[in-house]
Structure 1
Amino acid sequence: MNRRAFLQWGAAAPFLSWLPSSVPASPSQRRVLVLVKLAGGNDGLNTLIPHVDPLYYSLRPTLAIPRHQVIDTGQGMGLNPYLKALKPWWDAGQMAWVQGVGYPHGDLSHFRSNDIWETASTAQRAPEQGWLAQTFAGNGLHGIVMGEQLGPLLGKDCHALAMQSPAVFLSQVSLVDDIAPATITPALAHLTRTQHQLYTAGQQLSSKLHQPVAVGVPFATSALGRDLESVAQMILSGVDAPVYLVTQEGFDTHSNQVVAHSNLLHHLAGGLDSFARAMQRGGRWNDVVVMTYSEFGRRAQENRGKGTDHGTASVQLLLGGRVRGGIYGDAPRLHELDADGNPQQTVDFRKVYGTLAQQWLGLKNPWAQFGTLPLV
């Protein structure tokens, strides 16, 4: 390997996060799971709203969404008005909510709870594999992350790409020349093998993305909108990845929550609606499930800063052509808060994970002891 080749490898290597021993052609994946991480701790009570419970309004005198603004679901709960772009999907029976989601003795640390959600383990020492990495096996591309953190796709046997955007990825891998693997030393063998795999991965993705299929639907210019548009473009262009991960930042709403949370939900709903319409237009809507997750929820009672502090149980949203619409799990029992003032967790999040791993992606379910839900 000459110096030029080594520098080219070094420039592009950060964008390669999967290193299978080979990259065989694989049959086209049909079913896709799109994860949307709501980073910071989404306030479930102001997302899926218990608007028929007077305690909701007592606990949140300035944060509660007025009854006349809540979008009624007909199932005792209501949608935040800033989620109105998703109402047609609810009416079509293609949107589901799981409420009371969490795990026993929820941790209020962003870092610790994030590890728990992304590894599906409450063990004191977090596993070195994300929850999806524990279910995948074999070669081929397992997932694409829009960003830098692989999260649930982290693991030595999970082959995932992390990228800023398809355009940036292609510009980086274009710097890499192919090179024959060398065996002079273990270190050089690793470097040359990595460069060869990066080149191969880049060529395979380039063949799909240099002439991408137009999504045909306008997306918002927010960071989430751009990432969801990139995911839609890759799916419609035939990139064979069963999992995609995007992140929306900003949900740690300790103060002045009303405006901040409303804007976040507005961008979330708009992005998901555009994505759903793009999938529908491209004939892939029945092949895709979108699932949100967040490291924890918020306290039931608002704080002095007109915000909410770290809580435990929250809600998850699922969207897709084959999603069985409805509300799953028990409504929050605001008269039975725990000692810290949090709604009780009633659905273990691993029940949701196991459902999608087993019933949607056709993978093994390491969390069968938690049961499944009829979500798909």
Structure 2
Amino acid sequence: MKRRDFISMAAAAGASLSVSRVFATPQTGGGILPQLHARKTARDAFGKLLILIELKGGNDGLNTVIPFTDSRYYALRTHIAIPRNRGLAIDGRTALHPAMRELLPLWRDGQLAVVQGVGCGRDDASHFRSTEIWHTASRADEYRRDGWLTRVAVQCGAVNGRFAAASFGSDEPGPFAQLAHRCGDEHSWSRVDDPDTLAHVGRPDVGEGAGDRVPGTTLDAAHAGVRLFRDSIAAALRTVDMMQPHMRGAIRVTLDGFDTHRNQLTRHAALLAQLAGSCATLREELVRRGRWHDTLVMTYSEFGRSARENVDRGTEHGGAAAHFVMGGGVRGGVYGQPPDLTRLDADGRLPVEVDFRRLYATALASFWKLDANAVLRDAVQPLPLMRV
């Protein structure tokens, strides 16, 4: 089966990128952002890789990271709550969904951080607008067109650094929006059906076909997405092998199907099992390659779900939710405040306790040693998630 994926590689500030077989070499134009704190500090972070896992559709944080000691959780979810004796307890009041058992070795090794209450300052119930906010790292009242990782590519150019970008599982450039424009090459973001069969990516004539689709009558939509996500993880690992070790890089993979308005229990469990299994695979393979300590894996989703279940045994669009950060340099633990189910808004949404941009600031400042304020265009503090 062919995959409808997009891949881009950008070499910032005119630096040459020479990875054989797969990636082209677009050149950046101007647009130098403010100077970094120190060029040497930035160079020390060369070779570090960020892997973003998009949980598309709005993941239900309450059934992912479960407040199993809160009776209100069970009162609000009489049909879809995860029973107390089935959750995977990680502390005295918090448990992971039972389908996420493959994350437990990461937790035990102190390489998994759970950040609770993450969201936008003013949540929007629209998939499109909320996703746009997360992809551009903008405030809720601000409208930008360039993705936040596009601004990272430009900032890398300020220190003659190299930046590699790849995305699998989604037709949308997302956090890499405007990358082609900012790099001065309209073909640096091109459609790819199967990256293994192409000599280069980034050429004008590369694979403009739609690729094979999974027939709707053959597979349930959620299971089709799971199969494609497994392919995306495999493609992401092949991309890591082709990246030069001194380059900063970012890979985004998308797992679709989290808009669980109906019959959530079975669908959500299947998605979370695939997420956990893929994260375990990433760690195993990156450890084997000697890249795990230099990799940061982070989940994101446009919003959480409503605290109260609906009549279809699903959930509606919600507010804040828990997210995961993992890697060899991560200081594991539970961060942020537990969900306060007494403070729901009129639509049953949880309030935001942690600005989502603090996750990005952690990747930018603590991991990549870049100027987070220059990328985010705001004073945003990183979270204390990194050991070094």
TM-score by length of 1: 0.78
Name the structure 1 match of 2:175. Answer: 152
Mapped partners of 1:323, 1:16: distance in 2: 27
Preserved contact between residue 82 and residue 265 of structure 1 (Cα < 8 Å): yes
Q: 1:112 to 1:308 in 2, by over 3 A?
A: same
SS at structure 1 position matched to 2:82: coil
Identify which range, 263-272 or 136-145, moves more after superposition. Answer: 136-145
Report the Cα offset of residue 248 of structure 1. Answer: 0.3
Mapped partners of 2:294, 2:242: distance in 1: 14
Q: Give the root-mean-square deviation of aligned CA atoms.
A: 2.7
Preserved contact between residue 72 and residue 79 of structure 1 (Cα < 8 Å): yes
Name the structure 2 match of 1:143. Answer: 165
Name the structure 2 match of 1:365. Answer: 372
Letter in 2 for 1:320: G
Q: 2:106 aligns with which of 89, 103, 116?
A: 89
Report the Cα offset of residue 224 of structure 1. Answer: 1.4
Q: Deviations over 1:268-313 (max 9, x none)?
A: 1111111110011111110111101000000000000000000011
Letter in 2 for 1:65: I
Residues 1:170 and 2:170 aligned together: no
Mapped partners of 1:287, 1:15: distance in 2: 21
Name the structure 1 match of 2:352. Answer: 345
Report the Cα offset of residue 260 of structure 1. Answer: 0.3
Q: 1:375 to 1:85 in 2, by over 3 A?
A: same
Name the structure 2 match of 1:227. Answer: 232
SS at structure 2 position matched to 1:68: coil
SS at structure 2 position matched to 1:341: coil
Residues 1:274 and 2:281 aligned together: yes
Q: 1:107 aligns with which of 124, 129, 139?
A: 124
Seq. identity, %: 37
Identify which range, 321-330 or 26-35, moves more after superposition. Answer: 26-35
SS at structure 2 position matched to 1:263: helix
The structure that is helix-richer by fraction is 1
Q: Deviations over 1:309-332 (max 9, x none)?
A: 000111111111111101111000
Q: 2:53 aligns with which of 36, 49, 61?
A: 36
Kindly tell me the number of residue pairs found equivalent between the two proteins: 321
Q: Deviations over 1:34-80 (max 9, x none)?
A: 00000000000000000010111000001000111000002521000
Q: 1:316 aligns with which of 320, 323, 338?
A: 323
Q: Deviations over 1:121-151 (max 9, x none)?
A: 1355621111122233227443111143221
SS at structure 2 position matched to 1:309: coil
Preserved contact between residue 333 and residue 343 of structure 1 (Cα < 8 Å): yes
SS at structure 1 position matched to 2:372: coil
SS at structure 2 position matched to 1:145: strand
Preserved contact between residue 297 and residue 311 of structure 1 (Cα < 8 Å): yes
Preserved contact between residue 144 and residue 161 of structure 1 (Cα < 8 Å): no
Mapped partners of 2:74, 2:167: distance in 1: 39
Mapped partners of 2:8, 2:285: distance in 1: 28
Q: 1:130 aligns with which of 122, 147, 156?
A: 147
Residues 1:356 and 2:363 aligned together: yes
SS at structure 1 position matched to 2:363: helix
SS at structure 2 position matched to 1:331: coil
SS at structure 2 position matched to 1:242: strand
Q: 1:223 to 1:340 in 2, by over 3 A?
A: same
Letter in 1 for 2:182: D
Report the Cα offset of residue 339 of structure 1. Answer: 2.2
Report the Cα offset of residue 91 of structure 1. Answer: 0.5
Q: 1:16 to 1:25 in 2, by over 3 A?
A: closer
Preserved contact between residue 9 and residue 165 of structure 2 (Cα < 8 Å): no
Mapped partners of 1:74, 1:125: distance in 2: 38
Preserved contact between residue 75 and residue 327 of structure 1 (Cα < 8 Å): no
SS at structure 2 position matched to 1:295: coil
SS at structure 2 position matched to 1:289: strand
Letter in 2 for 1:242: G
Q: Which runs of 5+ in 2 are unaligned?
A: 1-5, 19-42, 207-224
